[in-house]
Amino acid sequence: MEVRDRPPRAIPAAADADPPGATGTSDAPVAAAIDVGAHSAHLLVARVATSSLETVADTSTPLGLGAVVDAEGLVPREAAGRLIDALRTYVALAAEMGAGPAVVVGTEPLRRAANAGRVLARVAAEVRVAVHVLGQEEEGLLTLLGAARGRRPDPAMVVADIGGGSTEVVTTTGGRPRVTGLALGAARLSARHVKHDPPLPEELAALHADARLNAAAALDVDGPPDLVVVGGTASNLAKVGDEARTDGLLTRDRLGRIEAMLLVTPASELSARFGITPQRARVLAAGAAIVGAILDRYAVDVARATDDGLREGVVIAASRAGLAWRDALPRLVGAV
């Protein structure tokens, strides 16, 4: 497992939302979210109170479902078994930590897998949990809720959630969020163009060309925004950048220096030096290309990388709206 310890983070209160009587994290209810993405299954256990979100546990298990679904169009039985093992472990761990029933969400691989229905039925039978397969708009709204730490988003904010198989970009112009999904994830882009470790200069150039083409075709320009990038790829890019480790900012110059390092550093060395999984390390060049393409599209020079995103959005939404959290999403982010 990959484990990250994170400090308490302030989340401004929403007038319509928080658990009655919760004024601080020490006595706040414990909530758990599990998401199944292209890279991994990931568990977040947190206390959500009126003005803070305190991480209790944050851990992930690499599964590589995105690559499997890309290759086979479905989730094979063995891969489904690994997913079930991870979910069973995480559900038990969340319960041991005092969380209510874990909310389990699935993203890009389970949207595409031809046998997703059978896999979800098997999970329900063997783990006794339901997996909520999110549409791209739901995924984007939850990511926005997490990145904005539960408050109504700033009208100038753009949030880009860079996953393994896809990227969701949420714009909030006029206060009404709009989600654009790109079939452009770090693992998928890397698989198309990178055959060497570390990548060759011509492979990096191909990553950039592909990312720019996709971003230009899909993203409307409506800025200048406050650009926030979330997801494991974004936070790991900040982790390997000397200056970005302290302030979380990914500038064009910093991305250039990060890419220069990636061109001469094997994934195994990146993993050992910076404490990231080899799977994540191998797709950092693709992630940098995606961040660069989004910077280019919006004509800005800097993006803020943050750990807050989908899972934080799920625990905030579930804590504030209970079982009706999916229906409440537009209200929670101010879309209605």
| Contact (Cβ atoms closer than 8 angstroms) between residue 293 and residue 237 | no
| Contact (Cβ atoms closer than 8 angstroms) between residue 244 and residue 254 | yes
Instruction: Give the domain ranges of the chain.
Output: 2-136+315-332, 151-306
| Contact (Cβ atoms closer than 8 angstroms) between residue 277 and residue 62 | yes
Q: What CATH number matches the domain at 2-136+315-332, 3.50.50.60, 3.30.420.40, 3.75.10.20, 3.30.70.1710?
A: 3.30.420.40
What are the two backbone dihedrals, phi and then psi, of residue 306, each rounded to the nearest 5 degrees?
-140, 150
51 vs 100: CA distance, rounded Å: 20
What are the two backbone dihedrals, phi and then psi, of residue 194, each rounded to the nearest 5 degrees?
-110, 120
Strand order in the sheet with 157-162: 178-182, 167-171, 157-162, 226-230, 302-306, 249-251
Nearest to 47 by CA among 24, 69, 21: 24
| Contact (Cβ atoms closer than 8 angstroms) between residue 305 and residue 249 | yes
Q: What is the pLDDT of residue 69?
A: 94
The one-letter amino acid code at 102 reads: A
The one-letter amino acid code at 236 reads: N
| Contact (Cβ atoms closer than 8 angstroms) between residue 305 and residue 235 | yes
Q: What is the pLDDT of residue 327?
A: 94
189 vs 205: CA distance, rounded Å: 12
256 vs 308: CA distance, rounded Å: 24
Q: What is the mean pLDDT of each run of 10 residues along the chain (336 residues)?
A: 43 38 64 93 89 86 91 96 97 95 95 96 97 93 87 79 90 79 90 96 97 88 77 90 82 94 96 90 96 92 90 93 93 71
Please report where in the chains the tokens 């492979």 appear, as a residue.
Answer: 203
- 151-306: CATH homologous superfamily? Exopolyphosphatase. Domain 2 (3.30.420.150)
3-state secondary structure 171-214: ECHHHCCEEEEECCCHHHHHHHHCCCCCCCHHHHHHHHHHHHHH
Name the DSSP letter for residue 309: S
pTM: 0.83
| Contact (Cβ atoms closer than 8 angstroms) between residue 18 and residue 320 | yes
Structure tokens that stand for 188 in this block: 């998928």
Structure tokens that stand for 200 in this block: 């060759």
Asked, as a colleague might, if the bond just before 76 is cis with ω within 30 of 0, I would say: no
Q: What is the pLDDT of residue 65?
A: 94
